[in-house]
Structure 1
């Protein structure tokens, strides 16, 4: 079966660097950062422990009534996904979506903060003999919530593989659209700040004390942030018929799991090298054709060193390397 060419026709972004692709891109090019000190975690620690208070929180307030049809006790991450989806649909110039549209969402610790706040409130309710607080709607149901909100009956999937969740969701959505399993696909991810993730990385001594500096000689760790991003994937021929300018065409991908360790990769870089080589082969692209590599770039010593090795093994070390 001949695969259909697939492109990104719409984009909805809610990020610490701005709302919408244009504002985000402008702030990114100007060198702005969303990383700052924050008290969102309310950790009872010495305020001088700066890594515990460094993060990139969102500053987003939905327009009053814009999500009135959603359940009142919806998780914050799912609410963000809804607004990002609406922005992506508008950006793609689509008045509505075909009912067979796929909804593929990458999940992380999104809205765990809601659970943490619930647990705190529940403990207070019990201690003070008050009626118990109601738990918000079920976890890991983002794809179902979006499908219900937009009247969609196509394939639905939640991918939860930590940092690779959104990339794997994008790959699966690409497969569905290219093989004609659906007319188009909503694909994206939302992640929100929570104590669990932040304190976990802090315990591993992986949180940067100021801000993340990937591949820098003085790098000291990662910076945790929150955002919601949704893309519209469409067959290119459909986009051309609408005379819409697409953002890009998707040519191929590859995925694996090296299963080395939970907190650090195979330091030889060979697993990542083979993965990139397979992705290039699947997309029928040569290394010299690549102009940009979007690295994981955690800013940790081992990850950046390993990633640098694998990129150099695939693309070389001369000045033409992307």
Structure 2
């Protein structure tokens, strides 16, 4: 501060250091953006917010920029595109960049997710597409199931027809068997057989087919002995899925049947007789409490078997 008369006048030179710091910060930002641009990168993903300035700069240079990308998505992108995560832009060489060819940006119906479809390079023999989005948790489950089914099919060479052909045939066997036994087990096995119809019905409902017409045709074909006919989603009808190459590994079907049968047995096991231990003195029941009557339940001779074993014992017995 300088004194001029009775007034205090601030020195103008005191503002120069502050302006120099601001200019230096802008120069550092511009330098980083230029380094990224000159490296040849067309897609820039950042774990931290990029800011409007950087996004506008990249957009003017025909570059895609995305900020606040989660670390999991960054690692998936790095594994799919053979890129790398850099903490500095001073050494952006060619080998640290990815090798993808096409980037397509799509938005969901709710407009709250952005998906990146990144095809693999040309030198990869089998073409594939990797879909990255914020809904990856929903996408990973069916992808994992499909990969594991293919892996199981490679290890086991026994297959059956897919497209719910096996489920319809099992339902037919279970219904035929339920008519040969009396008592409540007939209703139980009949309901178990009816439950297998959910799979072909769901296969028809997913693409928007008329499930009633398709199921009626499938039941008619099954009655004529065509056991490999299943839902054909390409022609909105039924087809021989063995000839159509729609197969399911036998081990996958067996595991699904075992899991479903165990769930049924768990529910059925709840229906057991509840007995109250008799007391030494026959005292009258207390006021306000109801008597519990123990009623024995009729059990089938094969009740110790699971419902799947009951059906299989007659279906596959010589």
TM-score bucket of the superposed structures, by smaller chain: under 0.3
- Which structure has more relative contact order (CA 8 Å, sep 6+)? It is 1
Task: From the two aligned structures, give the one with the greater helix fraction.
Answer: 2
TM (normalized to structure 2)?
A: 0.19
Larger radius of gyration: 2
TM-score, normalised relative to structure 1: 0.19
